Amino acid sequence: MSEKPHFFIEDSLLYAEEFFSELGQITRFKGRTVTSKDISEADYLLTRSTTKVNQALLKDCHKLKFVGTATAGYNHIDSDYLASRNIPWSAAPGCNADAVADYVISTGLNLANKYGFMLKDKVIGIIGVGQIGERLVRRFNALGCQVVQYDPVKASENTSFESADFEAVLACDLITCHVPLVKAGAHPTQHMFDYETLGKLKPDTILINACRGEVIDNAELLRFFENGHALRVILDVFENEPNIELGLLNYLEFGTPHIAGHSLEGKARGTEILYQMMCQRLGVDAPIKLESLLPSLAIEHMVLTDNYSLSQRQYRAIMNLIYDIRNDDLDFRMGLKQAPDSFDKLRKNYAIRREVTSLKVKCDNSLLPIFTDLGFNTSLKTES
């Protein structure tokens, strides 16, 4: 029998032992501090976003056959270097898209409550209409919002998709960014929001960045605030993580330590996607299913009466049962106050959080489409 492969797996990959121990030997490593020597015996390298996968890390890995990252983003992977060594790699597309959508919706609902507006009266601008952006289009449309979609890359690849102009997005009331970090080419995203672009936004525009810190020039944003401009900014991601510009915190509506995608389901799905890829590569079945590993929710299901009608207030109450961004904002501010260098620690010790995808909602035919579009795990009341 051939020797079992050796998996080197970043310590933050959830359920790695459960998924991979049958497939081979596992060695765990720390993403921020790992060296090439530490992983020189790797057949397969599985990471999350804190491991920088580049020549410096891989120079001593002579047996490496595949690199996988259990994340949606992949700007921590030097794909040119991997191509030069013919090492295939993959991210885990869509693994945490619902978690990020929950984050954005929680933001919208809680700010609507704080400032006294109805989301349905607001125009929503979505920058990047991929896995996360598409879910948000569905969710905001289900709430009756007008949605402006900006994604020229998708428009160039898919003739049935039409992208709005960037200027049209800048005129929206709530703008949320879901693009990869792209530094060059026809549609770069690095510093998409610089001082000049920030200046085009209406006062009190809600601007959310839950993709990559570099999409908003953080120094320019701070200068913009210091010059007295009023914007309602929510940052989950920052330039130079984990050494972020702490001065920004004074001006943010909500700040969080890069946890928008950190639901239990989102992290576990990332590992599951890599597991399925590995099983395929190794030519074996993939019998382990995520559902068998996830614990049940504290509130497992809701049954809606036939005359139920969803108001914004009720939706916020339901959402806040599952995820309330205000708690994460508070923990972030308190954590950084106690220890200004605790960005990574706050991420590592992040409380277990669940997604709306796990909340089972039983309702009648009329409510089913709206609750489905809002991301819940729906079924008809007559079904068991």
Known catalytic residues?
212, 241, 258
Residue nearest to ligand NAI (CB): 130
HEC string for the chain: CCCCCEEEEECCCCCHHHHHCCCCEEEEECCCCCCCHHHCCCCEEEECCCCCECHHHHCCCCCCCEEEECCCCCCCECHHHHHHCCCCEECCCCCCHHHHHHHHHHHHHHHHHHHCCCHHHCEEEEECCCHHHHHHHHHHHHCCCEEEEECHHHHHHCCCCCCCCHHHHHCCCEEEECCCCCCCCCCCCCCCECHHHHHHCCCCCEEEECCCHHHECHHHHHHHHHCCCCCEEEECCCCCCCCCCHHHHHCCCEECCCCCCCCHHHHHHHHHHHHHHHHHHHCCCCCCCHHHCCCCCCCCEEECCCCCCCCHHHHHHHHHHHCCHHHHHHHHHHHHHHCCCCHHHHHHCCCCCCCHHHCEEEECCCCHHHHHHCCCEEEECCCC
* Nearest CB to ligand LXYGBJRG, comparing residues 192 and 368: 192
Site for ligand NAI in 96-115 (CB under 6 A): 96-97, 100
Q: Is 73 in the site for ligand LXYGBJRG (CB under 6 A)?
A: yes
Q: Is 133 in the site for ligand NAI (CB under 6 A)?
A: yes
Please select the residue that binds ligand NAI; options are 129, 170, 175, 356, rule is CB under 6 A.
129
Please select the residue that binds ligand NAI; options are 236, 265, 329, 355, rule is CB under 6 A.
236
Residue 265 contact among ligand LXYGBJRG, ligand NAI, none, beta carbon within 5 to 8 Å by kind:
none
Q: Is 164 in the site for ligand NAI (CB under 6 A)?
A: no
Q: Is 71 in the site for ligand LXYGBJRG (CB under 6 A)?
A: yes
* Nearest CB to ligand NAI, comparing residues 61 and 206: 206
Site for ligand NAI in 173-202 (CB under 6 A): 178-182, 187, 189
Residue 131 contact among ligand LXYGBJRG, ligand NAI, none, beta carbon within 5 to 8 Å by kind:
ligand NAI
Residue 71 beta carbon to ligand LXYGBJRG: minimum distance, rounded to whole angstroms: 3
Binding mask 270-309 for ligand NAI (x = CB under 6 A): ----------------------------------------
Binding-site ranges for ligand LXYGBJRG (CB under 6 A): 12, 48-50, 71-73, 96, 258, 261-262
